Amino acid sequence: MAERAGAVLRAGSPSALSGYLKAVGAVIWKDLTSELRSRELLGSMLVFALLVILIFNFALELDIRTRQSVTSGVLWVTFAFAGTLGLNRSMAVERERGCLDGLLLAPVDRSALFFGKALGNLLFMLIVAAIILPVYSLLYNANLFLPALAGVIVLGSIGYATVGTLFSAMAVQARTRDILLPILLFPVVLPLLIAAVRATDSILLAIPLAEIRGWFNLLIVYDLLFIAVAIMTFDFVVEE
């Protein structure tokens, strides 16, 4: 699969690249239209995320300074749990409705299918984050509307959606997929979550960006590394 994708890029054919991008866009459009009809995936992610924030709000009856110190951890726990729920349902729905077999039979490179699913999952995660941030700001009296924080959320979500899509495609073949996905996913995304939490905490503490550049670099390297790994392995993961 990696050789086929590389051949497309090396050839530089506008028609081949256009067909590849159309395949990616078709998968994204399919997920969006399906979600607009059912409102199952995004609704469950959003409700779960709001419940987690409310639980933390009532459980952490702390002073303002202590609340500020746990903001980054609570945020990323919420994103991680809601994202895992969405990733699990995204691929499970494809399997249950028989859509996965149809996608695999499509005459396109399977990396296009991966990017379509990953970008769709990323979009859902960012929508949830955009709704959660104002709610969190209101409950915790914290200013989360910062450009640098938005960058951390986007970079963290890219890595989480990439690894999660790959592992959800692997776990969907098993009967215990609801349990298997978190077991596979969390150990691998731990470096991503640590970097995201540290970067978020530093931004909220108004530490200069020059001093937290290392966490941004780690997020970027992690994203690029696992995008490459996913492209090379997705074909084998979805094989029966």
pLDDT per residue over 184-224, tens digit each? 899 999 999 999 999 999 998 888 888 899 999 999 999 99
Reported confidence tier of residue 126, pLDDT bands at 50, 70, 90: very high
Residue 2 has pLDDT above 50, yes or no: no
Helix (H) or strand (E) holding 218: helix 213-237
Comparing 35 with 123, the larger pLDDT belongs to 123
Contacts of 128 (CB under 8 A, 6+ apart): 42, 45, 46, 49, 79, 82, 83, 86
Q: Is the pLDDT of residue 9 over 70?
A: no
pLDDT at 112 over 80: yes
Of all residues in the chain, the percent with pLDDT exceeding 70 is: 86
Nearest-10 crossing angle of helices 2-11, 110-140: 100
* Residue of 116, 232, 238 whose CA lies nearest to 167: 238
Q: What is the mean pLDDT of residues 229-238?
A: 86
Q: Give the pTM.
A: 0.87
Total Cβ atoms within 10 A of residue 113: 23
Contacts from 108-111 at CB under 8 Å and sequence distance 24+? 108/19, 108/20, 108/23, 109/1, 109/4, 109/5, 109/8, 109/20, 109/23, 110/1, 110/234, 110/235, 110/238, 111/1, 111/2, 111/4, 111/5, 111/231, 111/234, 111/235
Mean of pLDDT values over 44-61? 83
Is residue 7 pLDDT above 60, yes or no?
no
Structure tokens at 105: 């039979």
Q: Is 155 helix (H, G, I), strand (E, B) or coil?
A: helix
Distance (Å, whole) CA 193 – CA 171: 21
Band the pLDDT of 101: cuts 50, 70, 90.
Answer: low
Report the 10 Å Cβ neighbour count for 141: 10
Hey, where are the domains in the chain? 2-237
Q: Mean pLDDT over residues 106-122, rounded?
A: 85
